[in-house]
Amino acid sequence: MPKYVIEREIPGAGSLSQADLQGVSQKSCGVLQNMGPQIQWVQSYVTDDKVYCIYIADNEDLIKQHAEQGGFPANSISEVRGIIDPTTSE
């Protein structure tokens, strides 16, 4: 399945409490559970005003459906075309 990076513009995201982040995570997981195994949340990175999420999904439309059903912004959705890390240089 393709992997996607989703950019979510959420002003003040970096100031959210652990309880707030837990609530958002629970909402996301609930939506994902209803959508089925064709979409999976891998990990998210919280910055000051954005959250960057990594998802695996059959297609971009599933990412959009998840955002809509969860009430999350999905300002940018990019399919990952390759992965590099320090070992790539070897």
Predicted structure pTM score: 0.92
CATH code for the domain in which residue 60 is found? 3.30.70.3090
Rounded Cα distance between 13 and 84, Å, is 27
Residue span of the structural domain in which 13 resides: 3-81
Amino acid at residue number 36: G
Q: Is position 88 within any domain?
A: no
Q: Is position 60 within any domain?
A: yes
Could you tell me the pLDDT band of residue 58, with boundaries at 50, 70 and 90? Answer: very high
Q: Is position 34 within any domain?
A: yes
pLDDT tens by residue, 29-45: 999 999 999 999 999 99
Q: Is position 90 within any domain?
A: no
Domains identified in the chain, total number: 1
Of 26, 37, 45, whose CA–CA distance to 1 is shortest? 37
Of 42, 33, 30, 31, whose CA–CA distance to 65 is shortest? 31
Q: Is position 87 within any domain?
A: no
Could you tell me the pLDDT band of residue 14, with boundaries at 50, 70 and 90? Answer: very high
Residue labelled with tokens 């990019």? 78
Could you tell me the pLDDT band of residue 19, with boundaries at 50, 70 and 90? Answer: very high
